[in-house]
Amino acid sequence: MILRLAIGSLLARALTVGMTVLAIALSVALFLGVEKVRTGAKASFADTISGTDLIVGARSGSVQLLLYSVFRIGNATNNVTWESYRDIATRPEVDWIVPISLGDSHRQFRVMGTTPAFFEHYKYRGGRSLGLSGGHGLKDLYDAVIGAEVAETLGYEVGDPIVVSHGLASFTDHDDQPFRVAGIVARTGTPVDRTVIVSLEAIEAIHVDWRSGAKIPGRTTPVEQIRQMDLTPQAVTAALVGVKSRLQVFGLQRWINEYPEEPLLAVLPGVALQELWQIVGVAETALLAVSAMVVVTALLGMMAMIFSSLNERRREMAIWRAMGARPATILGLLVLEAALMAAAGAVLGLGLLYGGLVIAQPLVDSAFGLWLPIGWPDGRELAVLGGVIVAAGIVSLLPALRAYRLSLADGMMVRI
Amino acid sequence: MTPDAPALSLEEVRFRWPGRASFGLSVPGFRVAPGESVLLIGESGSGKSTLLSLICGIVTAEAGQVCVGGTDIAALRAGARDRFRAERIGVIFQQFNLLPYASVTDNILLPLRFAPERRRRVADARAESARLCAALGLAEDIPGTAAGRLSVGQQQRVAVARALIGEPPLIVADEPTSALDAATQDSFLGLLFGQVAATGSSLLMVSHDERLGGRFDRVVPLAEIARAERRAA
């Protein structure tokens, strides 16, 4: 009955209560939304590469190696010689190894030389393989497979010619050996979307007439002749390694890191991703803190609303007192009302969040490659909602205590 | 409750509002017998509200005894006093008696929420509330409507039903007719007396209007039983 009366009292003040509930709802939706994007981004980030046990490159920092080998950000300072690569590949622990050769570009996108095994072993979002939305994989020497974003941005379709530029942001094109778009990778939400993939041999082929990063003047080897050449590279930029048993990861990692012929670095992708996230995550935490402040502001607004309503409700308090309600009951009534408002706000906020997610999910996925899962609210979110309700109860204690004192002083006789 | 005890008795009561040294009230002796109806006549400012607060146990006397049904209210702890008030006293105000957002039925049942004994005396609370409404001449569709939508006269009758439900031994009314016009006043008093007689409760009404006196067992000028003390502030 008290609950029914509390609800009745709230409904009677529908406008002010409604605005307060709306403020709480918006703040809760914002907070949960930020949290959702944060965890989604973190998951997407962590999902960039999976199934790979070690990333091997020239010795630098683990974050740097991860950045250039997986995210195609920055450059390798050194390469891994083909001999070292072979040494690693023939280790008994190694199940598979995929070489990566970087350094050239097409427009604003990086070109990556690799083997067809890349499509077999590169996994993202918890073990998903790359799928082609059109065409086929690398078959011919001059086949290129492009990421979804490359295709979309440049308007490429299967069969279109592509000319690879030497280096990044350079004016020298490998226009003597044009490629052909053989396939387009379906959108993954990973850096693969922004990559032009060619074969390792092709990288070698387009550099046949080059020495030390410059074209040898006047020399143009015919394509037919290049096709006959041995195109085994001198070096690769990095390699993705899978081991036969996960127990061997650390042994192999140590072996590579202590490799005597050349300074190499092997990192566990998960560990490196986490190191990277610690750097990126600060901004996300700041965003979360700001949205938490918005929730606090909404609750303070509610407190102000309860305070300002106290005076006009003194008569009502007197009625409760005359009926035998204790001052503590009045305090409880006000706290209950606040908790009800917060609960309504939390539920409405959750509704707003899911409504927003349903609309935004496909847009965010296609625009940012960020997958925001829609599921039942998890424990963390429920804890946030519960926390908002409890916080509302605590915040309302201040006006409720004032009402307590007023009702003690006024008793049943209020003259207004 | 002792059967022979007066419904209400005040002995040598002295009271001063805390923090308001300028006003105090003393009552040498005053009694209301069980089933008796008493009208206290007093102008505003004569200490009516203070007296009612004392009787209802909202405030306690500095000295002397305020007994309701033989129980000294001052001897009870604050929480017990609130419960005691809910059990023994039905209160009717001048106006604004009801929670405007609650239905008439919820308003009538509200005191039972705080008074388990009164609750036990009523077999079916909703039926009893409907019966009281009917007996007080309220239309059948009234109980479901929000109290704030009723006319003042209807609200005062609902207040009577609320005071009477569960048959508390003492009904205290503070100028319940002052917001009503003369014709409504008369029919209201008729209904009030009818129901108070039916439950056998004592009725203590405070008013400035001597014309109401005809229906009461006793009419007492407040000045005769209580002395308001006023110092120049």
Which chain B residue is nearest to residue A8, measuring alpha carbons?
Answer: B101
> Across chain B, how many H-helices and E-strands are there?
8, 10
| pLDDT tens for each residue of chain A, 416 residues long | 788 888 888 888 889 999 999 999 999 999 998 888 888 877 777 778 888 999 999 998 898 999 899 888 888 888 999 999 999 999 999 999 999 999 888 888 899 999 999 999 998 877 888 888 888 888 889 999 999 989 988 999 999 999 998 877 667 788 888 899 999 999 888 889 889 999 999 998 888 888 777 777 777 788 888 888 888 888 999 999 999 998 999 999 999 999 999 999 999 998 888 888 888 778 888 888 998 999 999 999 999 999 988 888 888 888 888 888 888 888 999 999 999 999 999 999 999 999 999 998 888 776 666 777 787 888 888 998 999 999 999 999 999 998 888 877 766 665 53
Across the interface, of A5, A324, A325, the residue whose CB is closest to B102 is: A5
Name which of B77, B85, B104 to mutate to probe chain A: the one with the most chain A Cβ atoms within 10 A of its Cβ.
Answer: B85
Compute φ and ψ for A213, nearest 5 degrees.
75, 10
ipTM of the complex: 0.85
A392 Cβ contact partners less than 8 Å away, ≥ 6 residues apart: A24, A299, A302, A338, A339, A341, A342
- Do A388 and A30 touch, CB atoms closer than 8 A? no
Min Cα separation B115/chain A (Å): 8
Tell me if residue A138 falls in helix, strand or coil: coil
Please report, for residues A103, A165, A309, B179, the alpha-carbon distance to residue A159 in angstroms, rounded to integers and kept in the order given. 24, 19, 72, 92
Q: Is pTM beyond 0.80 here? A: no
Nearest to A103 by CA among A263, A257, A260, A234: A234
Which residues in chain A have Cβ-Cβ distances shorter than 8 Å to B52?
412-413
Which residues in chain A have Cβ-Cβ distances shorter than 8 Å to B114?
323-325, 329
Q: Which residue has the tokens 């020399």?
A: A219
Reported as a single tens digit per residue, the pLDDT across B112-169 is: 888 888 888 888 888 989 888 888 888 888 888 888 888 888 888 899 899 989 889 9
Supply angle C-alpha B147, B151, B157, rounded to 5.
70
- The third-level CATH classification (topology) of the domain covering B8-230 is Rossmann fold (3.40.50)
Chain centroid to Cα B188, Å, comes to 15
- Do A12 and B101 touch, CB atoms closer than 8 A? yes
Q: Please state, in angstroms and rounded to a whole number, the distance separating the CA atoms of residues A49 and A76.
A: 19
Please report, for residues A250, B102, B129, the alpha-carbon distance to residue B96 in angstroms, rounded to integers and kept in the order given. 80, 13, 19
Which chain B residue is nearest to residue A316, measuring alpha carbons?
Answer: B99
Across the interface, of B78, B103, B110, the residue whose CB is closest to A323 is: B110
Q: Is B86 on the interface with A (CB under 8 A)?
A: yes
Amino acid of residue A143: D
Q: Please state, in angstroms and rounded to a whole number, the distance separating the CA atoms of residues A381 and A379.
A: 5
Q: Please state, in angstroms and rounded to a whole number, the distance separating the CA atoms of residues B84 and B78.
A: 10
Min Cα separation B112/chain A (Å): 8
Domain ranges of chain B: 8-230
Reported as a single tens digit per residue, the pLDDT across A124-146 is: 877 888 888 888 888 889 999 99
Min Cα separation A16/chain B (Å): 15
Please report, for residues A54, B34, B90, the alpha-carbon distance to residue B70 in angstroms, rounded to integers and kept in the order given. 89, 11, 17
Q: Please state, in angstroms and rounded to a whole number, the distance separating the CA atoms of residues A333 and A342.
A: 14
- Do B224 and B46 touch, CB atoms closer than 8 A? no
- Do A273 and A50 touch, CB atoms closer than 8 A? no
- Those residues of chain A whose CB sits closer than 8 Å to some CB in chain B are 1-2, 4-5, 8-9, 11-12, 315-316, 319-326, 328-329, 411-413
Nearest to A75 by CA among A86, A88, A60, A85: A60
Nearest to B198 by CA among B162, B157, B165: B165
